[in-house]
Amino acid sequence: MITIFKERKVVSRLLAVLLSALLTVPLLSSCGGGSRNASVPPPVDDTVGRTVSDRSTQPEVKKGLSGGQKVAILAGAAALYYLYNQHKNAPQEGAQGKYYLSKNGRVYYRDAEHRAHWVTPPSEGIRVPESEAQQYQQFQGYNGRSTGRDLSNLTSSAAPAL
């Protein structure tokens, strides 16, 4: 009778140790990893108070529209898509480097630390020769229009995950 009681006591202790070990496994496994998410920092939203003014790729246009050169103003989605197309094949990184189109219809670039920075078009718009701007006519912001397509249904296969 005493041996049966002792046998149950040993089994219950072993079961308690086993359950305790199982409960500590998730705690210990969550402490060590981190290499998955540590390689790429979270995106930075630079849209508050800052805009990307891409004067280096804009053609110089005289204010008087002389010589028969017509200009279109691209703002909003049209300006973002213009900036994306100007920078999508750039070899370097950063604000003047390669731009990517996200799945949610926003344009971003990556800095030297591989952080994503959202691109905001200049509030005054981008002046583009009308012949070059024709391809952006269907987008919101073309010559001050508030109607048209946005960039949410465009996809880019070259865009890395955010």
Instruction: Look at residue 1 and tell me whether its pLDDT is greater than 70.
Output: no
53 phi and psi angles, rounded to 5 deg: -105, 110
pLDDT given at position 123: 84
**What are the Cα distances from residue 38, in Å, to 42, 77, 113?**
9, 32, 11
- CA 102 to mean position of chain CA atoms: 5
pLDDT band at 136 (very low <50, low <70, confident <90, very high): confident
**Average pLDDT of the residues in 61-87:** 75
Taking alpha carbons only, the member of 115, 102, 117, 116 closest to residue 150 is 102
Q: Which of 49, 67, 48 is nearest to 59 (CA)?
A: 67
Q: For residues 44 and 117, is the Cβ–Cβ distance under 8 A?
A: yes
Q: Which residue has the higher pLDDT, 1 or 22?
A: 22
| Strand 107-110 to 99-101 pairing | antiparallel
Residue pLDDT, tens place only, 9-22: 888 888 888 888 88
Q: What is the pLDDT of residues 75-128, one digit of tens each?
A: 888 888 888 888 888 888 888 888 888 888 888 888 888 888 998 888 888 898
Which residue, among 93, 77, 82, has the nearest Cα to 59 in the 3D structure? 82
d(CA 156, CA 17): 53
pLDDT reading at 65 higher than 70: no
Q: Say which residue, 55 or 75, is predicted with more confidence.
A: 75
What ranges make up the beta strands (E) of the chain?
71-74, 99-101, 107-110, 116-118, 126-129
Higher pLDDT, 93 or 38: 93
